[in-house]
Amino acid sequence: MKNLTKIIGLMAACVMIAPLSGCGIMDGAQSSAREIMDAVVSGDVGGVVSRSTGDVNESNLPLFNGKMEEPIADVKVGQSQKNADDTRTVSVSYTVAGKQQTTNLNMEKNPSGKGWVAINPDLFRPMFFNDDSLTVGGKNGDKGYLMVPGVYRVAAKGDWYKGSWKLPVTANQDPMKPVEIEINDDNVKDIEITDAIKTNTKVQQSLVDNIANLPMCDKLQELYLNGQDLSFVVGDSISHACVYQVSEATPTITKYEKNSDGTVALTYDVSITGTMPEFKKESGTLPKSDDEWTCQTVSGPDNPVQCARFVEQTKTVKNLKSYCSLDSSCHFATDQQDAAESAIADVIYAGHGTD
């Protein structure tokens, strides 16, 4: 009678713990499912692949072998449920960054060896890089990687910015839906701008191009010629002979500040060398224009005469403002461009009167 009581007690205990451990004796499918989840915990993508069958890596991506920041946690492997003689279903649950994840592992007897394998388990995620300044777990690859769930660290190291953040990766029922590694609205707050922006050649060239392409002759007409359709004329040349030809420009960034959208607001001075007008005032009657100087009467007391010619010279303009993106391309906002044109015009057209 005592032995019967012990047997009944053991059976009752078995029923109580069966959902989690299978009474301490796992069948083959459940045991293989546990091995798969152990491989996920350790970040062993190859271990999960070797215990799986089907199109788990349709894109033939390299298997991720970088460092995982935080493995999955709270792993629970349920008992296997028999579907047929050679197939079982094992429910598993786990957390990624504290958030619950559940999936069913459909297991079948390994057709090429002993044990059981999972059929296309929802435990993989392709990863692709949209920015070559980024790494995940110390890795970066043009072809991307195949990953398993967990938390990874993304590091950004650009020419003039840096940063890092955690990236929770969860499985997806669509095996082709990738994790895009990029700087976006969610993580741009973790980007820090460094002093290297002040001397970065791409930023410098973009600022130079912006300065060189300003429509300064339109600004001349607006500010100094009362909007009339005429401009400086040299010798017998035709109207619209305003010249603004930049041969060299050297920006000096004096201030930078990151905006909430990830762009960087720059304040800078620029030294501009190029063909620009030079002025002189004449007294008396209107001198005759020649191939070098053009003279005309301008507004003012006693109708003063002013002459202009175009020569290579260098001018410095201070406190211009632009925006730059993380790809080092810079641009003027509309109000910034108008302010830049006016500031440059005030320097290169200084002293010019109106008709």
Quick one: pLDDT at residue 287? 65
Q: How far apart are CA 216 and CA 129, in angstroms?
A: 42
Do 278 and 310 meet the contact criterion of CB atoms below 8 Å apart? Answer: yes
- pLDDT at site 286: 66
Euclidean distance between CA atoms 159 and 196, whole angstroms: 7
pLDDT of residue 179: 94
Give the pLDDT score at 113. 72
* pLDDT for the residue 22: 42
Per-10-residue mean pLDDT, the chain, length 355: 46 41 67 97 96 84 95 97 93 97 95 87 94 94 92 97 97 84 94 98 97 84 55 40 81 97 96 84 68 71 72 92 96 92 83 51
Q: Give the 3-state DSSP-derived string for 6-72, with helices as H, strands as E and coil as C.
A: HHHHHHHHHHHHHHHHHHHCCCHHHHHHHHHHHHHHCCCHHHHHHCEECCCCCCCCCECCCCCCECC
Q: Which long-range contacts (CB under 8 A, 24 or more apart) does 223-227 make?
A: 223/342, 223/345, 223/349, 224/345, 224/349, 224/352, 224/353, 224/354, 225/354, 225/355, 226/354, 226/355
Element (H, E) at 83: strand 73-84
Q: Which residue ranges form the domains of the chain, and what is each CATH number?
A: 23-123 (3.10.450), 127-193 (no CATH), 195-348 (no CATH)
Burial degree of 128 (CB within 10 A; 0-12, 13-18, 19+)? middle
Please give the pLDDT value at position 279: 75
pLDDT of residue 280: 75
Report which secondary-structure segment, H or E, holds 5: helix 2-21
